[in-house]
Chain A
């Protein structure tokens, strides 16, 4: 029978916490950029200008049809080359964090765009009509009337997607970036205590995601009531 030895975890906590900060940074940035860019994509997709709606539909379908692992590999390959040619940052510098952030932001925007599109479509058409009749421009009507109502309905879904994103950030493992999971793996590998560290990482992810989804559920009940 396996004998557990948890003694390498307490000493590694500062390193693990640094990893968790990286995880949270990537998540926060990807949620923020994803929602902004996703909103623009959703509006483009519903616009009457065909070129814009085609672009948005193509973008969303492209990112939704390839695995996140592949998207990450692409960005770890391309971003350093791009940084070099556009910003003349030497290829030797560590751009993995930047690559991961760009990849997650662009990838998640495709998923957010679909949530936001459904949210905008759930707002009664008369709202837009009334705003236009009051003399607002399309942009004003969208910004001041439609979007605030749409976002109110969408908040639970957006937060749930954020929890999924938080879990997905563990995939930066493919670039051996030390996010929370990467840090746990490294410590386990170093001390020969992979079993304990992987179980610990699983438990931490579970506690965070489970309590976050409980909060979202409670919030959802409040919004409906």
Chain B
């Protein structure tokens, strides 16, 4: 194959001026990080709440949580994203829909992708939280109640602190997934890392350099998160608990 390698392309000015192609890549990386981290906060909040609901007595509450999980796990991420971005603004009451369409397009894409990724991952977090709570011996809940705690207090002071420490390892893999899944947001035009990579291909006709740079960045991000979470896992491990360690 006769391919003309040119790594200095990253230092060239972009046609619109003001920055280099490297600058584009870095701003894409910043968007990927902002999107993944904000979506992760939503996923943790919604996932924890729904995970708790799935374990409480009462068919209604656990039914709602089960419905949430099934709905968000059985529709492809791409379809969910398109529904958030293209469908929701249309079927909302006209006033709200128009207000949404009036804001800056970049912000529209970002919020749609953030909510989508957050709720998509939240369904997976929910299942982990549930299995964490279920894995605790039943005596812990009864002991809490016997000491005079109300049910919410038992969750807050007894069950959840333990459950969260047990599920750190599976949450790590969901946290890694959210960074990878964030690349799907490139399909609605959000200029995150993968989209900047494609844009670079269109502008410079240097596909290999661009794709290699994007791929390596994702791999480094992955490795960084793994190292970070390994530390968290070490700190939160429950002594003497097999499930909490490995």
Contact = CB atoms under 8 A, between A and B. Distances in A.
B186 A170 contact: no
Interface stretch (A13-21, A124-132, A202-210): A202-210
Contacts, number: 100
Interface residues of B, number: 40
B119 interface: no
A73 B213 CA distance: 13
B211 A181 contact: no
Nearest to A207: B74
Majority DSSP secondary structure for residues of A touching B: helix
B165 interface: no
A182 B184 CA distance: 15
Q: Quick one: which of B76, B82, B93 has the most chain A CB within 10 A? A: B76
Interface stretch (B39-47, B84-92, B135-143): B84-92
Report the contact-size class of chain A (Cβ under 8 Å from the partner).
Answer: 20 to 34
B171 interface: no
Chain B interface, DSSP helix/strand/loop, else mixed: helix
Contact of A167 (B75, B91, B208, B215): B75
B70 A65 contact: no
B94 interface: yes
Contact of A198 (B87, B181, B211, B223): B87
A214 to B, nearest CB: 10
Most chain A C-beta atoms within 10 Å of own C-beta, residue among B87, B91, B198, B219: B87
Contact of A70 (B74, B87, B214): B214
Contacts of B27: none
Interface in A175-220: 181, 185, 194-195, 198-199, 201-202, 205-206, 209-210, 213
Contacts of A85: 1
B131 to A, nearest CB: 15
B80 interface: yes
Interface in B178-222: 179-184, 186-187, 194, 197-198, 207-208, 211, 214-215, 218-219, 222
Nearest to A211: B74
B189 to A, nearest CB: 12
A67 B218 contact: yes
B117 to A, nearest CB: 12
A171 B182 CA distance: 13
Interface in B53-87: 70-71, 73-80, 82-83, 86-87
A30 to B, nearest CB: 15
Nearest to A65: B222
Sorted nearest first, the 5 A-B pairs with minimum C-beta distance are A67-B183, A209-B74, A167-B76, A65-B222, A67-B180
Given A168-B76, A205-B76, 4 more contacts: A77-B211, A181-B79, A194-B87, A209-B75
Interface of B: 1, 70-71, 73-80, 82-83, 86-87, 90-91, 93-94, 176, 179-184, 186-187, 194, 197-198, 207-208, 211, 214-215, 218-219, 222-223
5 contacts: A62-B219, A69-B186, A70-B194, A70-B215, A205-B75
